[in-house]
Structure 1
Amino acid sequence: MTHIVIAADSFKGSATSQQVGEYLTNGIYRVDPTAEVTTVPIADGGDGTVASVLAALGGQTLTTTVEGPLGTPVEAQWGLLDDHHTAIIEMAAAAGLNLVQPDLAPLAASTYGVGQLMAAAMAAGATTIYLGLGGSGTTDGGSGLLQALGAQLLTADGTPIPRGGAGLRQLARVNLGTLTPQLADVTVIGLTDVSNVLTGPFGAAAVYGPQKGATPAMVTELDQNLDHYQAALAAQNDFPQSCPGDGAAGGTGFGLRVLGARLQPGTATILKLTHFQDRLAHADLVLTGEGRIDGQSLMGKASIGVVRLAKQLQLPVFLIAGSVGDDLDAIYGTGVDLVLSSTVSPMTVDQAVAQVAPLLTQAGVTAMHAFQLTQR
Structure 2
Amino acid sequence: MNKAVLIPDSFKGTLSSTQICDVMKKNINKHFPECEVISIPVADGGEGSVDCFLSALGGKKVFTVVKNPYFEDMESFYGLIDNGQTAVIEMASCAGLPLVEGRKNPRKTTTYGVGELILHAVNNGCKKIIVGLGGSCTNDGGVGAASAIGVKFFDNNGKEFIPTGGTLIDINRIDVSNIIENIKNVEIVTMCDIDNPMYGKNGAAYIFAPQKGATTEVVEELDKGLMNLCNVIKRDLLIDLKSVKGGGAAGAMGAGMIAFFNSRLEMGIETVLNTVKFNEIIEDADMIFTGEGKIDSQSLRGKVVIGVAKRAKAKNVPVTVVVGGADNDVEKAYDIGISSIFTINRLPEALETSKHKSKENLEATIDNIIRLIKTLEKK
Matched, 1:67 2:67: yes
CA contact (8 A) 1:193 1:299 kept: no
Distance 2:110 2:131 in 1: 16
Match of 1:220 in 2: 220
Give the SS at the match of 2:285.
Answer: coil
Matched, 1:314 2:316: yes
Shift in Å, 1:238: 2.9
**For 1:1-376, what aligned pairs fall within 5 Å after superposition?**
1-33=1-33, 35-101=35-101, 104-161=104-161, 163-242=163-242, 243-259=244-260, 260-325=262-327, 327-345=329-347, 346=349, 348-349=351-352, 352=355, 355-372=357-374
Q: Name the count of aligned residue pairs.
A: 375
Distance 2:114 2:321 in 1: 33
Shift in Å, 1:325: 4.8
Distance 2:88 2:300 in 1: 25
Give the SS at the match of 1:328.
Answer: coil
Identity %: 33
Residues 34/119 of structure 1: CA separation in 2 closer, same or farther (3 Å cut): closer
Shift in Å, 1:228: 0.5
Distance 2:359 2:135 in 1: 24
Bigger shift: residues 120-129 or 316-325 = 316-325
- CA deviations 1:157-206 (Å, max 9, x no partner) are 45554653112112233222232222223222222233332122332223
Distance 1:131 1:87 in 2: 8
Residues 82/372 of structure 1: CA separation in 2 closer, same or farther (3 Å cut): closer
Bigger shift: residues 339-348 or 234-243 = 339-348
Which residue identity lines up with residue 316 of structure 1 in the other structure?
P
Residues 297/221 of structure 1: CA separation in 2 closer, same or farther (3 Å cut): farther
Give the SS at the match of 2:80.
Answer: strand
Distance 2:82 2:335 in 1: 39
- CA deviations 1:216-241 (Å, max 9, x no partner) are 43332222110001111221113234
Shift in Å, 1:347: 5.2
Distance 1:270 1:371 in 2: 28
Give the SS at the match of 2:130.
Answer: strand
CA contact (8 A) 1:295 1:331 kept: no
Which residue identity lines up with residue 131 of structure 2 in the other structure?
L
Residues 108/232 of structure 1: CA separation in 2 closer, same or farther (3 Å cut): same
Residues 372/316 of structure 1: CA separation in 2 closer, same or farther (3 Å cut): farther
CA contact (8 A) 1:26 1:364 kept: no
Bigger shift: residues 121-130 or 167-176 = 167-176
Residues 308/172 of structure 1: CA separation in 2 closer, same or farther (3 Å cut): same
Residues 124/199 of structure 1: CA separation in 2 closer, same or farther (3 Å cut): same
Shift in Å, 1:94: 1.7
Which residue identity lines up with residue 314 of structure 2 in the other structure?
Q
Shift in Å, 1:20: 1.4
Distance 1:43 1:4 in 2: 20
Q: Which has the higher contact order (CA 8 A, sep 6+)?
A: 1
Residues 374/315 of structure 1: CA separation in 2 closer, same or farther (3 Å cut): farther
Shift in Å, 1:22: 0.8
Shift in Å, 1:370: 4.7
Q: CA RMSD in A?
A: 2.7
CA contact (8 A) 1:109 1:163 kept: no
CA contact (8 A) 2:144 2:162 kept: no
Gaps of 5+ in 1: none
Shift in Å, 1:358: 2.5
Shift in Å, 1:78: 0.9
Give the SS at the match of 1:185.
Answer: coil
Residues 349/32 of structure 1: CA separation in 2 closer, same or farther (3 Å cut): farther
Distance 1:49 1:95 in 2: 14
Shift in Å, 1:145: 0.8
Distance 1:361 1:103 in 2: 41
TM-score (norm 1): 0.88
Distance 1:189 1:14 in 2: 29
Shift in Å, 1:369: 3.7
Bigger shift: residues 286-295 or 98-107 = 98-107
